[in-house]
Amino acid sequence: MAEKNIIEVSHLSKTFGDFTAVKDISFSVRAGERFAFLGPNGAGKSTTIKMLTTLLTPSQGSILIDGHNPVGDADAARHSFGIVFQDPSLDDDLTAWENMEFHGVLYNVARPLRRERIEELLRFVDLYERKDNYVREFSGGMKRRLEIARGLLHHPRIIFLDEPTLGLDPQTRNHMWQYLERLNRDEGITVFFTTHYMEEADKVAERIAIIDHGTIIAMGSGEELKKKTKTSSLEEAFLKLTGSAIREEEAGSVDHLRNMGRAWGRR
Amino acid sequence: MYIMWLREMKRFLRSKSRIVGALGQPLLYFLSLGYGLGAVFQAAGRGNYIEFLAPGIIGMSIIFTSIFNGMQVIWDRQFGFLKETLVAPVSRLAIMLGRTFGGATVAALQGCLVFIIMIPAGFRPYDWALVVPAILVMFLVATLFSGLGMMVASLLRDMQGFQLIMNFLVMPLFFLSGALFPLQGAPTALQDVAYIDPLSYGIDGMRSLLINTSNYSLGIDVAVLVGIAALFIILGSYFFSKIQV
Ligand SMILES: Nc1ncnc2c1ncn2[C@@H]1O[C@H](COP(=O)(O)OP(=O)(O)O)[C@@H](O)[C@H]1O
Ligand SMILES: [Mg+2]
């Protein structure tokens, strides 16, 4: 396999006001690699992914995505990746099929292939029977599955998945990773993901970065991390590295906004 | 770009209650002001107020609908869908155009509906053949204000600013545009304000086509509308490209 780095990050920082969410991190990911970002809530994983995917501009440092700078050359960078967001990102007023179709058209997937893949993916996440239902009628798990299916619709060079499996049952999780591993193997798609399920990271990722308080505190394969911390599971290694204090997830801003939306009587 | 437009259309056609709801207010204005002030207007030698008012009411429904549609961006941001659009490998201008034309089509359709319900209520255009170009002017007005709505929405983080925009931008734009009263003979200060209000030109354009009276002239109206709409779209896509989530 070509030893080319498809993601290059050096001295990347992001500050919000006087709070530093990401502090001077550097790492690279090889083309075709499966790379995991692990870290407690609020560690800065999503912030990093947002900078990599043009949604936030870095305060400092540089990024190359498939050779393109997401700041100066956002459009070229956007051609290289697909992303499954941590927060909801579906249009509730469209059907499952229409959400897929919208994505496929935006990403220029040719019509016959689009049809074929949408059908295949909707069957894959077990939503084909519900394809004409509005997304607002879906449960949280169904929405999540649809988002994953959508993220896989175009086959980008890199796919970012921010806690993709949160709230999914083990069957679906398993299923999804199999699909991703197949894409990774057959099409050489680079997989960059975050998760709170350690066994998932250990099984899927070739290399893992552990991030806490905005800095990368350890990086290596699952085996290397275990060896380094003299532990027998990734979970123990993770706890040893990050300590066992519990972190609060930032108060669900989306929930707050949703309630506001209702108050405004949107429908 | 087309898919953005299509999305707006689908959402519009599915919100039947909103379509009907949005007809209520213009109809109320039309009936109460039209018939309430009609006699006074006539007595002042200004002619038929119902006829005069109708294009103004169409303009009102268009400005409200299109600004509201433009501001839909804020909803998309809050409900997360905006991220999906932002990471797409599509130029910001194409996104802006698709959404603006989508919102504009919706608003122009709403304007046509208002036009239709005003007919049984007493409105007659002076030449039916000119209704088609009048609809084009409606679409131009709708494009301009969808663009404005999107531009403003790109700068706002949440719905809190929405009331502010309605009260300090949309309402003045409407009331100061000559939608409800003739600008000829109005105090110069008011005329000057109307002069810089793009809606004045939209309503003037519709009046010149629907009831054959005009304050500026149709050519100027169209030129101003096109120019300002283009400006808003360009500024809008710039602000849009600066959005961070
Ligand atoms: N837009 C923002 N404004 C201010 N603070 C933010 C913003 N986005 C994230 N943060 C803060 O940055 C920190 C890292 O967040 P995040 O990257 O979402 O963590 P996680 O690793 O759980 O994904 C958190 O403390 C969060 O509160
Ligand atoms: Mg996160």
- The pLDDT value given to residue A250: 54
Ligand 1 in reach of A18 Cβ (< 6 A): no
Give just the sign of the alpha carbon dihedral A48, A50, A54, A56: negative
Q: What is the DSSP string of A3-49?
A: --EEEEEEEEEEEETTEEEEEEEEEEEETT-EEEEE--TTSSHHHHH
| HEC sequence for B161-193 | HHHHHHHHHHHHHHHCCCCCCCCCCCCHHHHHH
Q: Which helix (H) or strand (E) holds A211?
A: strand A207-212
Domain boundaries, chain A: 5-265
Residues of B in contact with A68 (CB under 8 A): none
pLDDT at residue A266 tops 50 = no
**Residue A242 CB–ligand 1 contact under 6 Å:** no
A107-123 tens-digit pLDDT:
999 999 999 999 999 99
Q: Across the interface, which of A105, A257, A264 has its CB nearest the CB of B3?
A: A105
Cβ distance of A261 and B75 shorter than 8 Å: yes
β pairing state of A60-65 and A5-16:
antiparallel
pTM: 0.88
Mean pLDDT for chain A? Answer: 89
Per-residue pLDDT of chain B (245 residues; tens, 9 = 90+): 788 899 988 988 888 888 888 899 999 999 999 999 999 999 988 889 999 999 999 999 999 999 988 888 888 998 899 999 999 999 999 999 999 999 999 999 999 999 999 999 889 898 899 999 999 999 999 999 999 999 999 988 877 887 888 889 999 999 999 999 999 889 999 999 999 999 999 999 999 999 999 889 999 999 999 999 999 999 999 999 999 88
H or E segment and range at residue B84: helix B81-86
Single out the residue of B112, B118, B103, B113 nearest to residue B4, CA to CA: B103
Q: What is the ipTM of this complex?
A: 0.87
Domain A5-265, what fold? Rossmann fold (3.40.50)
Cα–Cα distance measured from residue B29 to residue B33, given in angstroms and rounded to the nearest whole number: 6
Question: Which letter does DSSP use for residue A141 in this model?
Answer: H
Maximum mean pLDDT: which of A178-187, A244-253, B157-166:
A178-187
Judged by CB atoms closer than 8 Å, whether chains meet at A55 and B85 is answered as: no
pLDDT tens for A197-234 read 999 999 999 999 999 999 999 999 999 999 998 988 89
* Secondary element (H or E) of residue A162: strand A158-162
Residues of chain A contacting B84 with CB distance shorter than 8 Å:
85, 89-91, 102-103
User: Residue B183 corresponds to which amino acid?
Assistant: L
Per the structure block, which two tokens stand in for A130?
């519900």
CA of A47, closest atom in ligand 1: 17
pLDDT digits (tens, 9 = 90+) for A25-69: 999 999 999 999 999 999 999 999 999 999 999 999 999 999 999
Bridge partners (DSSP) of residue A83 are A160
Q: Give the per-residue pLDDT at A251.
A: 46
Contact between chains at B81 and A257 (C-beta distance less than 8 A) = no
